[in-house]
Structure 1
Amino acid sequence: MDHFSYSWQALRTAVAGLPDEDFTRPSGCSGWLVRDLVCHLVIDAQDVLITLVTPAVTEPTVDAVTYWHVADRPPTGEDPLDALTVRLAAAYGEPHLLRFHLDDVGSAAGRAAGLADRGARVSTRDEVLTAGDYLTAYVLEWTLHHLDLIAHLPGAPRPPAEGLARSRELLERIAGAAFPASFTDTDALMVGTGRRAPTGAERTQLGELAARLPFVLG
């Protein structure tokens, strides 16, 4: 299965189905409204397009797991790019403009991913990796942001089960440890990345892994 395309299509479809009023509701990203998150997705789609046409000739320096950096603390919203995203999202004014831009750029990113040679080397963030590894890393990006999108929208479509399972696998490889089998894939991703705190029972089940949480990915 092409987890990248499946997860990306599901996320874009969820955004396309949101009523206008949901764009001003909070998202699961601290300090961001849904519209801010959607604007971030537009930027992500642009990054995919840029990376897939930025070839590299040197050996890969990272793969789908080591592509991710684990930060010391969650983002505060004070990062200049985060702040720019909020201002840019507000500048769209009408939700339909954001929907249109995400559909336009997002569709192009999806087509580019489908045409990409998975073995070709590409460059991004001063690193080199195969296009396949890059697209696999973004399965985790799309799935986490799908969970962010619906954090306060209980009626919105959920991420596909296949993307949740693949993302959990990636997070466990980043962590170097497996989450308890009693955790659903969603629980593992939410607790593992600090999107919610573990319950007392979950903390007990996590054992030594609890002291290493959260894994703040960037």
Structure 2
Amino acid sequence: MDLFSRSWAALRAAVAEVPDEDFARPSGCAGWLVRDLVCHLIIDAQDVLITLVTPADTEPTRDAVTYWDIVEAPTGDDPLDALIVRLAAAYEEPRLLKFHLDDVGSAAGRAAKLADPAVRVGTRGEVLTTGDYLCAYVLEWTLHHLDLIAHLPDAAEPPAEGLARSRELLEKIAGAAFPRSFSDKDALLIGTGRRAPAEAEKAELGDLAAKLPLALG
């Protein structure tokens, strides 16, 4: 849970440092600009708040690994993706997006720190412990941090411990380990299809290459 807080704080800090003109740059998410990604993070923060106050009294059906479903790779044409683009445009000024993310995002961060990791919560029709739910979101925050800085070379990268934990989760989802020669960042980018592997990397992946990319939903 502490790693959730550090990863989330780092991502929000990175957003706060993005110059206004860079909100119109592409992000690492297909079809989304940086402003669209930030709008998505606001909705993510709202989802965290909703989930943390949605207790469940049945046994967990998912954990931090099985929380994720493998879905079709995003194209940017999904109706919800298109809605995000319209919502982001409605903010008009980057400072308003930054303000809303800081407002809702700070509340989500505080709620996570106060949460009991053993309490069971419901989300997306499933039940998890709070600890597993927040652990799953370390992967969400880390991947979106990489998306945020995809075309912003001077921006701060995600925390090293968040990258390492996210790689561990992705390897469990894939059911196989990435080559040791891959950095945590490269394993995440290649594993989720955010970057195509070079020929030498593809050779190192071996049988795992056939399972990639892993689009998570």
Q: TM-score, normalised by structure 2?
A: 0.99
In structure 1, what is the Cα distance between the partners aligned to 2:118 and 2:98?
A: 32
Q: State the partner residue of 1:79.
A: 78
| 1:87 shift after superposition | 0.1
Structure 2 distance, partners of 1:26, 1:65, is: 29
Shift of 1:77: 1.7
Identity of aligned residues (%): 78
Partner of 2:129: 130
Q: Distance in 2 between matches of 1:78 and 1:204?
A: 32
* 1:49-198 correspondence to structure 2 within 5 Å: 49-71=49-71, 73-198=72-197
| Cross-structure match for 2:37 | 37
Q: Deviations over 1:123-148 (max 9, x none)?
A: 00000000000000000000000000
Query: How far off is 1:33 after superposition?
Result: 0.2
How far, CA to CA, are the matches of 1:160 and 1:8 in structure 2?
10
Q: CA deviation at 1:171?
A: 0.2
Q: Does 1:13 align with 2:13?
A: yes
Q: Partners of 1:120 and 1:78 in 2: how far apart?
A: 37
Shift of 1:41: 0.1
Deviations 1:138-168 (A, max 9, x none): 0000000000000000000000100000000
How far is 1:51 from its partner? Answer: 0.2
1:7-52 deviation line (CA, Å, top 9, x unaligned): 0000000000111001000000011000000000000000000000
> What's the secondary structure of 1:123's corresponding residue?
strand
Q: Which structure 2 residue ranges, 5 or more long, are not aligned?
A: none
Of stretches 75-84 and 115-124 in structure 1, the one that deviates more from structure 2 is 75-84
Q: Which amino acid aligns with 1:147?
A: L
What amino acid maps onto 2:61 in structure 1?
A: T
Question: Partners in 2 of 1:2 and 1:38 — Cα distance?
Answer: 22
Post-superposition shift, 1:81?
1.2
Structure 1 regions of 5+ residues with no counterpart? none
In the other structure, the counterpart of 1:27 is 27
CA distance in 1, matches of 2:35, 2:129: 32
Deviation at 1:79, TM superposition (A): 1.6
Aligned AA for 1:39?
C
Corresponding residue SS for 1:70: coil
What CA RMSD, in Å, does the superposition of the two structures yield over aligned residues?
0.7
Taking the aligned partners of 2:19 and 2:78, their CA distance within structure 1 comes to 29
SS at match of 1:128: strand
Post-superposition shift, 1:75?
A: 1.0
Displacement over 4 Å in runs of 4+: none
